Structure 1
Amino acid sequence: MAFTLPRLPNKVVCLTCLCIGSSLHAAPARADQPVQFESAASEPTPFQKRIAQAGGNVPRAVPGTPLQGYLTRPPGEGPFPAVVVLHGCSGLPRSVRKTWSERLSSWGYVVLVVDSFSTRGIKETCDGLHPVDRVYDAYGALEYLSKYSFVDPRRIALMGFSAGGNATLEALQSGGDERLMERKFKAAIAYYPDCSATNGDMAVPTLILIGELDDRTPAKNCQEMMTQRSGKGSSVQLDVYPGARHGFDSAGLKTGIEAYGQYNAAEQSILASHAFLKEVFGG
């Protein structure tokens, strides 16, 4: 599904950007609280099990890695639905840690933003190397959240941005690591992921949001993925936003048509994410 942008004069565009930008601010919520937990333990693969057993050894799971996160919750006792959030390759920006946490919390969700880098001493992984298994970070966060009395463990979604979006799709692809995990996510939202890394068959309802002009994770990869899906698994919704580039939800104020495209995409994607979560979780 795509949204068509009207052609407006530059003066009108700039005024529209300011109006849209002001509507993106979330209502105040409880401040994010630093928390510590571990990534999920990594179970040995079938090949590793065979090698170990052939040598008379017992294959063992690799223990989880200590992680830091930021927990935000709505007022009240709950139990509330929740969202685990994964950042991109450049680390944890304010737009994810604060803005999205407050936004999701204002919608009635507990939010756990995962910092995959700090405890590992990593600054960024944008050079194309991804030594960190973000999938297990996501499932460690799911396990951690599920223990809180104010969280409904049956209603937890996974949301990721860019490289975090890649990990989101990988974590919930049918037949992948998801099948090995005792606890399950209910839904997935991936902002501007690299869709070439997945076959598009998802274990849970999934929303993918990407800009038409994204030159880092091209929209065409997601469009091709949609045409190649087997049809198995849960529903997948792809929203492609005309005039929008990578990171459109956290773009700074610019001028002219490009600013309008970015802010329009941000506004529309926020509405789409809200509607998607409401549909999956009810209410």
Structure 2
Amino acid sequence: MRLLKKIVCPACLCLAGHLFTAHANADQFVQFESAAVKPTQFQERNARARGEAVNAVPGTPLQGYLTRPQGEGPFPAIVILHGCAGIHPSVKETWPERLASWGYVVLVVDSFSTRGIQNTCNNLLVDRVYDAYGALEFLSNYSFVDPKRIAVMGFSAGGIATLEAVQFGGAERLMEHKFKAAVAYYPICKAANGDMAVPTLVLVGDLDDWSPAEQCRTMMKQRSGAGSPVQLNVYKGAHHAFDAPEFKTGFEAYGHWIEYNGIAADQSVSDVHAFLRGVFGN
């Protein structure tokens, strides 16, 4: 593990060539690595001045779940990043099934199991940005995936990682493979400056006391205008995790209210579908 940053917020590596052309069943368990962290130009210059070599930090072994539509493709794809409490049914089952029905390959990234982590609801695992790019690189090797049409989609803490992954001039500039779009469900927006390298959709409830909508509105106001368009949708009467039907009975977790909202969920699903169609044209 590289780093856990304090914040208030919510077998083989499958690299054999035959895997990338084989038919992948729905919900196939896969293993891959997070992206290696390359040194910045500043770090390289300082190392050269000292007569030293600076190497990339190698990736971390990860696992995930792959779902794909019927057909040979190549299909657009979505990398999904779970929240701070791990993979819930809506992330592992509901969203992959939905996205696959829309014609997307889906890879749900499990950032915790191989690291021995239970949750990060009191700490933000910043390495998840590199998990996203490792998943992107992994998907790009499949013959049924269009490597130029891959988006990242995250929920809560995964939404924070999503915004960080595509923040203009951030980690994305160091990566060979690039995301085409981003969708962030109820992220803590104060962690981002609002300038994104790709078209980005942010979705949050107006009653969310964990990922406050007002912080997202502030993020939108402070955008410099650099990068790609960013769209913020705020849903009336919706709390944190409003899209997750497993939380139909609301409850308090880590001092915050969690509750499904069917009206907001349905509208957000429609908004996500329209956003992805606008970016990918399918």
TM-score (norm 1): 0.85
| Residue in structure 2 matched with residue 32 of structure 1 by the alignment | 27
After superposition, give the CA deviation of every residue in 1:19-50 in whole Å (9 maximum; x if it has no partner): xxxxxxxxxxx530000000000012345334
CA spacing shift, 1:132–1:235, aligned 2, 3 Å = closer
- Counterpart amino acid of 1:280? V
Q: CA RMSD in A?
A: 2.0
Give the CA deviation at 1:82. 0.4
**TM-score scaled to structure 2, two decimals?**
0.85
CA contact (8 A) 2:81 2:159 kept: yes
CA distance in 2, matches of 1:134, 1:271: 27
Task: State the AA in 1 paired with 2:74.
Answer: P
The percentage of counterpart residues that share the same residue type is 68
**Partner Cα separation in structure 1 for residue 28 and residue 152 of structure 2:** 19
**Among 179, 195, 206, the residue aligned to 2:189:** 195
Work out whether residues 33 and 70 of structure 1, in 8 Å CA contact, stay in contact via their aligned partners in 2.
Answer: yes
Higher helix share: 1
Residue 61 of structure 1 corresponds to which residue in structure 2? 56
Question: 1: CA distance between counterparts of 2:235 and 2:120?
Answer: 26
1:176 is matched with 170
Mean Cα deviation higher: 30-39 or 152-161 = 30-39
Cα 1:58–1:83, aligned 2, differ >3 Å: closer, same or farther? Answer: same
Q: Counterparts of 1:37 and 1:123 in 2: how far apart (Å)? A: 20
* CA spacing shift, 1:217–1:59, aligned 2, 3 Å: same
Q: Which moves more between the two structures, 225-234 or 213-222?
A: 225-234
Q: 2-side partners of 1:68 and 1:37: how far apart?
A: 6
The structure with the greater share of residues assigned to strand is: 2
Counterpart position of 2:161:
167
Task: Flag structure 1 segments of 5+ consecutive residues without an equivalent.
Answer: 1-29
The equivalent residue for 2:19 is: none
Residue 222 of structure 1 is aligned with which of 201, 213, 216? 216
Q: Which runs of 5 or more structure 2 residues have no equivalent in the other structure?
A: 1-24, 251-256
Q: CA 1:260–1:35 in 2, change beyond 3 Å: closer, same or farther?
A: closer
Tell me how far apart the structure 2 counterparts of residues 54 and 269 of structure 1 sit (CA, whole Å).
52
Q: Which residue of 2 aligns with 1:275?
A: 274
Deviation at 1:132, TM superposition (A): 4.5
Which of the two has higher C-alpha Rg?
1
Q: Secondary structure at the match of 2:134?
A: helix
Cα 1:259–1:132 shift into 2, 3 Å: closer
If asked which structure has higher relative contact order (CA below 8 Å, sep 6+), I would say 1
